[in-house]
């Protein structure tokens, strides 16, 4: 009986060792607009891959692009502007092709005003003193916000009111905290229950800015990691696509983002 018990203990320990040996860890750099959608997608993926570890860092696509060029050890890079991963691929910093995964939209949103009844023209109202957008120098959503305001003939008129977030998530936080009355932010963020219950939004017409075509790559550090490839493939699954649609993203080939 004692020998049997010892054998069983050794068998369990061996099984755990094998399981640990096959467990992987990957780190994902993801555009800030993906915060809520990506968290759900990772949770869904992990149900079928419980032994593995996935870390995700959210921020500005432009800054991630620079960091990866400088050797940052991200295994996958999800950008809000497909041009950034395309450039990395041209430079030999991707392990495969650039994969389009969504088309984003920008909205006018406020937690203190009814933005659903507003348009960009209302931003000149003296009652609106602070308008939050992501920094156009490195954040794709900020660049598209600038394009929309220029298209409306308002960019120069609103300069004194603009406050810039490091990324689109920080711009949303400025509005949420009251440091700005309104913001031009990602539809994907206001679809999150925490923000959606605090105010309506005005969907900015697509013809006022260039498309927010988004794409991702497996980077060179992720090339030898099967987990990176499995997660990349999971993005094409019905479950992942459903989550992206839930947060207002249009899927590749469909620019009708609801």
Q: How far apart, in whole angstroms, are the C-alpha atoms of residue 251 and residue 37?
A: 13
200 and 114 share a domain? yes
115 and 99 share a domain? no
Query: For the stretch 199-232, what's the b/e string if a residue is b when 16 or more beta carbons lie within 10 angstroms of its beta carbon?
Result: bbbbebebebbeebbbbbbbbbbbeebebbbebb
Convert the pLDDT of each residue in 131-160 to its tens digit. 999 999 999 999 999 999 999 999 999 999
66 and 146 share a domain? no
pLDDT value at residue 2: 55
Q: Which of 84, 104, 86 is nearest to 96 (CA)?
A: 86
Q: How far apart, in whole angstroms, are the C-alpha atoms of residue 76 and residue 151?
A: 34
Question: Residues 41-69: what's their mean pLDDT?
Answer: 94
46 and 82 share a domain? yes
CA dihedral 243, 61, 233, 16 (to 10 degrees): -100
Q: Is the pLDDT of residue 254 over 90?
A: no
pLDDT value at residue 253: 60
165 and 144 share a domain? yes
Q: What order of strands is seen across the sheet that includes strand 25-31? A: 53-59, 25-31, 76-79, 212-218, 99-104
State how many domains the chain has: 2
Q: 212 and 70 in contact (C-beta within 8 Å)?
A: no
164 and 73 share a domain? no
Range of 57's domain? 23-103+211-246
Does 229 fall in a domain? yes
Question: Residues 15-24: what's their mean pLDDT?
Answer: 54
Does 146 fall in a domain? yes
Q: In the structure encoding, which two tokens stand for residue 48, read together?
A: 């079928």
3-state class (DSSP) for residue 213: strand
99 and 110 share a domain? no
Residue 133 sits in a domain whose CATH number is: 3.40.190.10
Convert the pLDDT of each residue in 193-225 to its tens digit. 888 777 789 999 999 999 999 999 999 999 989
48 and 98 share a domain? yes
28 and 89 share a domain? yes
Does 74 fall in a domain? yes
Q: How far apart, in whole angstroms, are the C-alpha atoms of residue 225 and residue 230?
A: 9
Does 10 fall in a domain? no
Per the DSSP assignment, residues forming a β-bridge with 54 are: 26
148 and 193 share a domain? yes
183 and 235 share a domain? no
Q: Return all residues near 51 (Cβ < 8 A) that are at least 6 apart.
A: 19, 20, 22, 23
* Confidence grade of residue 5 (pLDDT, cut at 50, 70, 90): low
């Amino acid at each position: 009986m004692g020998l049997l018990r010892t054998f069983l203990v050794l068998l369990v320990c061996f099984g755990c060792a094998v399981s640990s040996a096959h467990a992987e860890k990957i780190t994902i750099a993801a555009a800030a607009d993906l915060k809520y959608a990506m968290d759900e997608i990772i949770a869904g993926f992990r149900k079928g891959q419980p032994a593995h570890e996935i870390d995700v860092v959210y921020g500005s696509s432009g800054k991630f692009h620079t960091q990866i060029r400088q050797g940052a050890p991200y295994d996958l890079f999800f950008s809000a502007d497909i041009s950034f991963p395309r450039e990395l691929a041209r430079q030999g910093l991707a392990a495969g092709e650039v994969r389009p995964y969504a088309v984003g939209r920008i909205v006018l949103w406020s937690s203190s005003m009814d933005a659903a009844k507003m348009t960009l023209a209302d931003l000149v109202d003296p009652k609106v003193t602070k308008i939050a957008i992501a920094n156009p120098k490195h954040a794709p959503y900020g660049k598209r916000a600038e394009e929309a305001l220029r298209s409306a003939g308002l960019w120069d008129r609103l300069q004194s009111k603009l406050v810039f977030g490091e990324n689109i998530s920080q711009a949303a936080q400025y509005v949420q905290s009251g440091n700005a009355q309104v913001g031009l932010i990602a539809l994907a963020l206001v679809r999150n229950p925490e923000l959606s219950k605090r105010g309506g939004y005005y969907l900015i017409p697509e013809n006022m800015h260039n498309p927010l075509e988004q794409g991702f790559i497996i980077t060179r550090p992720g090339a030898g990691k099967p987990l990176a490839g499995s997660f990349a493939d999971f993005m094409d699954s019905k479950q992942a696509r459903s989550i992206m649609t839930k947060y207002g993203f249009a899927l590749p080939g469909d620019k009708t983002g609801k």
